[in-house]
Amino acid sequence: MLWSLLKSVVAITIAALIIAAVLIALGASPIGVLFALCEGAFGNWYALTDTVVKATPLIFTGLAVSVAFSGALWNIGADGQLIAGAIAAGAIGPYLGAWPRPIAIAAMLIAGAIGGAIWGGICGWLRARRDTNEVISTIMMNFVAAQVLSWTVHGPLMEPSRAYPQSRLIAPSAHMYMFLEPSRLNLGIVIALLLAAGCYLLLFQTRLGFQIRAMGRNRRAATFFGIPIARLTIGLLALSGALAGAGGAVQVSAITHRLYERFSPGWGFEAIAVALVARLNPIGIVISALFFGALDNGSQAMQRAQGVSPVLVQVIQALVIMILLAFDTPAVARLRASFGVGAPISAAPQTGASADA
């Protein structure tokens, strides 16, 4: 367990060292970049609160990825599912003006969850009933979602003035509750925390969670214990999609108040790094999402101060994922055993495990 946590810290450290070397090669100062990142992420009250705001969608998508991966369903489509949820919420949002605020907000969230659940559920159905690799189908559905979004904001949902490709503003009653304005802190983070706790209980305290993890360890063996693999596959990808979709709805309700093209900067892909650093543990997702949210937030200040592109953050994400993958392999485990460190105890399926085992 300790090693499992340590792995993430070591992976991030190694990634940071590689980045430092790259920065020196580019003629930038690694220390300066680190300070600018921290300044931008935690330097003042607004920066600090915005780190939490930027982490919120990552908690939703991180949970989505983590529950699916726990069942060895490789959902690469959290981005599309988040967009599907945002479209659903953004579509009903303008019409909720007459509704009481709590109910309007709940309607937004439910619409988002349903949108995401449909998007994920389709891939689950394809996997369970048509033996279609969910990796391919979730990737394809990302692109379909992006095009549907582009079509809706150019077409049926476009603002009445038709000035820009964006949807109408949602009704004020559908706006998320905001805290400590003018900061952008909102109820979304509380919902995210509750969902993280819920996912933890689901995975580790319920029979269903046990079945999901059993399926994650060995899909074929799970069938011999009477676990309904087909139903579980559809349900789990729908749940995964619902989590991502609710995240999209929160973003519309609290931050953007409308839809536009390229709504997601890649939250669904960043979620893979978030989930792996958290070792797929829903509570860990919160910490890991805050870490990556801080990176995202600090990267803007880094660009201003050091002239380094904020996409540097994506290099860090990629390196962390690759190092953690390598840590989980038998070769590294043998190396570790030779130093006398005990066998890892992990509730998560090995990310080195086969997609179809």
Partner 1 sequence: MLNAFLSSTIAMATPVLLAALGELLVEETGIINIGIEGAMLSGAFFALAAAYFTGSILLGLAAGIAAGVAINAILGVLVVNLSVNQVVAGTALDILAIGITGVFYRRFFGITGKAFMVSPMPRIDFGPLTRIPVLGALVFHHNILVYLAFAMVPVVGFILWRTRYGLMLRAAGERPEAADALGLGVYRLRWHALVASGVLSGLAGAYLTLAYANTFVENISGGRGYVALAVVILGRWKPWEIAAASILFGAAMALQFGLQALGTQVPYQLFLALPYALALMVLAGIGGQAASPSGLGEPYTRL
Q: Could you list the residues that contact partner 1 (CB under 8 A)?
A: 22, 26, 74, 76, 126, 130-133, 135-137, 139-141, 143-144, 147-148, 150-151, 154-155, 266, 269-270, 272-273, 276, 307-309, 311-319, 321-322, 325-326, 328-332, 351-357
Question: In angstroms, rounded to a whole number, what is the distance separating the alpha carbons of residues 158 and 27?
Answer: 45
List all residues 6 or more positions away from 71 whose beta carbon is below 8 Å from its beta carbon.
212, 213, 215, 216, 232, 233, 236, 349
| CB-nearer residue toward partner 1: 98 or 331 | 331
Question: In angstroms, rounded to a whole number, what is the distance separating the alpha carbons of residues 86 and 264?
Answer: 10
| CB-nearer residue toward partner 1: 30 or 178 | 30
Q: Is residue 349 within 8 Å of 213, Cβ to Cβ?
A: yes
Q: How far is the CB of 154 from partner 1 (least distance, A)?
A: 7
**What are 327's two structure tokens?**
């840590």
| 313 three-state secondary structure | helix
| CB-nearer residue toward partner 1: 331 or 345 | 331
Q: How far is the CB of 144 from partner 1 (least distance, A)?
A: 5
Q: How far is the CB of 97 from partner 1 (least distance, A)?
A: 28
| CB-nearer residue toward partner 1: 110 or 353 | 353
DSSP element (H, E) containing 296: helix 282-306
| CB-nearer residue toward partner 1: 50 or 328 | 328
| CB-nearer residue toward partner 1: 139 or 347 | 139
Q: How far is CA 223 from CA 69, 220, 253, 279, 357, in A?
A: 18, 6, 41, 25, 12
Q: How far is the CB of 111 from partner 1 (least distance, A)?
A: 22
Q: Could you say which DSSP state residue 350 is in? A: P
| 178 three-state secondary structure | strand
Question: In angstroms, rounded to a whole number, what is the distance separating the alpha carbons of residues 119 and 113?
Answer: 10
Q: How far is the CB of 277 from partner 1 (least distance, A)?
A: 12
Q: How far is the CB of 232 from partner 1 (least distance, A)?
A: 18
Torsion of CA 200, 202, 204, 205, to 10 degrees: 120
| CB-nearer residue toward partner 1: 3 or 177 | 3
Q: How far is the CB of 152 from partner 1 (least distance, A)?
A: 9
